[in-house]
């Protein structure tokens, strides 16, 4: 049984259609990258898969169940959302931010227990940020904040992570570090679904690429087959060359016109 099953999924904001007749299955495990220009429907699709929006038409099933029938609290224990790096207005400790991931498992107004704190600590250790536990979240780097948000999602108990442009705002080194973490966690059985504007990031870590164009699926398949000069030109309207740089690595090189 597929982890996610989307069938003829459509969505509109009022009279403005954003997604139309999107159909695909996602199996557990691996990394799936969503590629597409601004306004192609990537973020809307992720929100639908998180149960934050309801489709205008069609269905989304998670482990065979219509996502509309799954209580939000139960859904949060299976699928976790990792937002783009943001700055909290209050200086919570990193450990407290991670501990917030245990909220779906606690009763209203109940305090976090020793079990919750142990799980939060283990999530930080897995991501190598346990040394940041006592630091204010507002004072750590962008890359460290993103790892903190992933640790919070792991503390929820989820094994599937939905990420909207996770490398946005990170410097080059932190982008690479984050991609390496995702690759490592996917090898341990975690599933990642992330949107990106960087085809090279998809080539580096994704096992599957879904290209969205004007709300429909343009290409869907293994990264090394889906990402090519022809598909990128169709997707973004620019000429892109694919270059092999050794070690089995291929990169995208846009043909920038110099006037």
Q: List the chain pLDDT tens, one digit each, 259 residues.
A: 899 999 999 999 999 999 999 999 999 999 999 999 999 999 999 999 999 999 999 999 999 999 999 998 899 889 999 987 666 667 899 999 999 999 888 776 678 889 999 999 999 999 899 999 999 999 998 889 999 999 999 999 889 999 999 998 888 998 998 999 999 999 999 999 999 999 999 999 999 999 999 999 999 999 999 999 999 999 999 999 999 888 888 899 998 887 7
pLDDT at 87: 65
Provide the pLDDT for residue 112: 83
Residue 259 buriedness (CB in 10 A; 0-12 / 13-18 / 19+): exposed
For 14, other C-beta atoms within 10 Å of its C-beta total 5
**Is 81 within 8 Å of 104 (Cβ atoms)?**
no
Closest C-alpha among 139, 205, 119 to residue 166: 205
How far CA 196 is from CA of 12, 66, 73, 259, in Å, comes to 22, 27, 27, 29
Cβ count within 10 A of residue 122:
15
* Beta carbons within 8 Å of 20's beta carbon, 6+ residues apart: 10, 215, 216
Rounded Cα–Cα distance for residues 100 and 93 (Å): 11
Kindly list the structural domains of the chain, giving each domain's residue range(s) and its CATH number in brackets, ordered by start: 4-254 (3.40.50.300)
What pTM did the predictor assign?
0.89
So what's the pLDDT on residue 214? 93
């Amino acid at each position: 049984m597929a982890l996610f099953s989307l069938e003829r999924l459509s969505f509109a904001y009022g009279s403005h259609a954003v997604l139309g007749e999107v159909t695909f299955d996602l199996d557990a495990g691996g990394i799936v990258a969503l590629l597409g220009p601004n306004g192609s429907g990537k973020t809307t699709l992720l929100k639908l898969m998180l149960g934050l929006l309801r489709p205008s038409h069609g269905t989304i099933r998670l482990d065979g169940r219509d996502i509309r029938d799954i209580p939000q609290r139960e859904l949060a224990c299976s699928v976790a959302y990792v937002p783009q790096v943001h700055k909290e207005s209050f200086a919570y400790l990193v450990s407290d931010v991670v501990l917030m991931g245990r909220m779906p498992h606690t009763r209203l107004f109940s305090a976090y227990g020793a079990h919750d704190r142990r799980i939060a600590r283990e999530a930080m250790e897995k991501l190598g940020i346990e040394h940041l536990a006592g630091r204010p979240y507002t004072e750590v780097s962008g890359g460290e904040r993103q790892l903190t948000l992933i640790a919070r999602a792991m503390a929820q108990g989820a094994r599937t992570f939905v990420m909207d442009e996770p490398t946005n705002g990170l410097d080059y080194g932190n982008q690479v570090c984050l991609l390496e973490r995702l690759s490592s966690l996917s090898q341990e059985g975690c599933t990642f679904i992330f949107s990106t504007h960087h085809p090279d990031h998809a080539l580096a870590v994704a096992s599957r690429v879904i290209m969205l164009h004007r709300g429909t699926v343009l290409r869907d398949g293994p990264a090394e087959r889906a990402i090519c000069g022809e598909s990128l030109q169709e997707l973004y309207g620019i000429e892109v060359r694919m270059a092999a740089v050794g070690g089995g690595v291929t990169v995208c090189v846009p043909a920038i016109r110099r006037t």
